[in-house]
């Protein structure tokens, strides 16, 4: 099953989004919140993200959901660190180009139903065009 990592500058934001997305997911989904720095302060840490990606992988790849700015850059850095990490260079990771909260909910539903990494990313990215107010 594809795993999901939620990256945010804020620990609380990442955990809150994880909580919401996990409600929609089956019990087998690996969905990891990776928010803030090791000491709890606001920010992103490429190495913490790298570890979260490893934890989320069960062999079918990982969908990374990211917030802004360094959320993206640190996740890209983490993916590069994995490529150079001999024990984990085979882990497939993709970043979804999607709003982090809505995209995480869609990705959780998709991953739980056994979709491939491509399909999970597509589901997350569909959230980009989701209308909230229907007239």
Partner 1 sequence: MASKVYECISKIADIIIENKDFLTELDREIGDADHGINMARGYTEALGQLPQDESDIGAVLKKAGMVLLSKVGGASGPLYGTAYMKAAKAAAGKTELTVQDGKDILDAIIGGIKQRGKAERGEKTMLDAIIPGYEAYCAAADAGKDLAECLDAMCAAAAEGVEYTKTIIATKGRASYLGERSIGHQDPGATSSLLTMEAIRDWVRAL
Ligand X SMILES: Nc1ncnc2c1ncn2[C@@H]1O[C@H](COP(=O)(O)OP(=O)(O)OP(=O)(O)O)[C@@H](O)[C@H]1O
Beta bridge partners of 65: 6
- C-alpha 61/C-alpha 39 separation (Å) is 28
Shortest separation between residue 74's beta carbon and ligand X, angstroms: 8
88 noted as active-site residue:
no
Q: What is the dihedral of CA 76, 94, 11, 25, to 10 degrees?
A: 180
Exactly one of 1, 6, 9, 111 is catalytic; name it: 9
Binding to partner 1 by CB under 8 A, coded x per residue (else -) over 50-89, reads -------------------xx--xx-xx---x--------
Among 69, 85, 118, 130, binds ligand X (CB under 6 A): 69
Compute φ and ψ for 122, nearest 5 degrees. Answer: -60, -40
12: contact with partner 1 by CB under 8 A? no
Closer Cβ to partner 1, 65 or 108, answer by number: 65
Q: How far apart are CA 57 and CA 86, in angstroms?
A: 15
Q: Distances from the Cα of 6 to the Cαs of 18, 80, 132, in angstroms?
A: 7, 18, 22
> Which among 12-20, 44-52, 87-95, 120-128 is the span making contact with partner 1, rule CB under 8 A?
44-52
Write down the residue that tokens 């934890």 correspond to.
55
Applying CB under 8 A, the residues found at the interface with partner 1 are 37, 41-48, 69-70, 73-74, 76-77, 81
Active site residues: 9
Applying CB under 6 A, the residues found at the interface with ligand X are 9, 44, 69-70
């Amino acid at each position: 099953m594809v795993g999901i990592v939620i990256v945010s500058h804020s620990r609380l934001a990442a955990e809150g989004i994880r909580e919401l997305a996990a409600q929609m997911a089956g019990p087998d989904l690996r969905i990891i919140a990776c928010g803030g720095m090791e000491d709890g302060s606001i920010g992103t840490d490429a190495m913490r993200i790298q570890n979260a990606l490893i934890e989320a992988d069960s062999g079918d790849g990982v969908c990374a959901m990211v917030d802004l700015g360094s959320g993206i850059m640190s996740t890209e850095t983490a993916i590069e660190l994995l490529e150079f990490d001999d024990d984990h260079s085979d882990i497939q990771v993709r970043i979804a180009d999607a709003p982090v909260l809505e995209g995480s909910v869609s990705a959780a539903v998709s991953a739980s139903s056994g979709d491939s990494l491509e399909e999970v990313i597509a589901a997350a990215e569909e959230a980009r065009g989701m209308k909230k107010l229907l007239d």
